[in-house]
Amino acid sequence: MSLLNIKEQKSFLNENDFKVFKSTIFSDKFPWFISGSDYKDDNNKMLSHVFYIYNSPSSKYYNLLEPFFEKLEISSLVRAKLNLTSKKSKNFKSSFHKDIPRISCLTSIFYINTNDGGTEFENGKFIKSEENKIVTFPSQLKHRVVRHKKGDDFRIVLNLNYYKFDISL
């Protein structure tokens, strides 16, 4: 995948897997945690749920990621987390950033709900948040959050950073 290769796929999960994933994270039993942006001067407040970090699962809901492992051919996970942002936030765009600045892997952003927010890339490409859509790109490609202004109160995305199986010899 080249640095400029941004791949979108609609209807990424099958209907049942998506229904289970979405209903679990929208449940009033699912734990969300207050967090800020990982990026200096962003001042982007949000809620998050970290599934995997520091080479280890960090959530009892880790098994929700199983459909992603197979479909994305993930061989090694670096980080997996949900981000929940509100349309009432002050900053409608975060700063451009690289998810994992020190390594080159892949990033996939899976959109849980549809709204007018999305992901903007430094090259100007904009990917709109659409339910059950995923966008995959090299982690070194700078991008940013564009928060939504209309629709649901919240915008929820799954952010995956990983290495893919490479069977070439």
Options 1.10.3720.10, 2.60.120.620, 3.40.50.300, 3.30.420.240; CATH for 7-164 is 2.60.120.620
User: What pLDDT score does 165 carry?
Assistant: 81
User: What pLDDT score does 131 carry?
Assistant: 97
Taking a C-beta distance cutoff of 8 angstroms, is the pair 134, 108 a contact? Answer: yes
- Cα(54)–Cα(8) distance, integer angstroms: 28
Question: What Å distances lie between residue 38 and 12, 42, 82, 148, 165, CA to CA?
Answer: 27, 8, 13, 20, 28
Per-10-residue mean pLDDT of the chain, 169 residues long, equals 76 98 97 74 77 96 97 96 81 80 93 95 95 96 89 92 79
The secondary structure of residue 116, as a DSSP letter, is S
- Cα(85)–Cα(31) distance, integer angstroms: 15
Instruction: Find all residues with CB under 8 Å of 111, minimum gap 6, and list them.
Output: 118, 129, 130, 131, 132, 133, 134, 156, 157
Q: Where are the domains of the chain?
A: 7-164
pLDDT in tens, 10-37: 999 999 999 999 999 999 999 999 986 5
pTM, 2 dp: 0.90
Provide the token pair at 72. 């994305």
User: What pLDDT score does 89 carry?
Assistant: 59
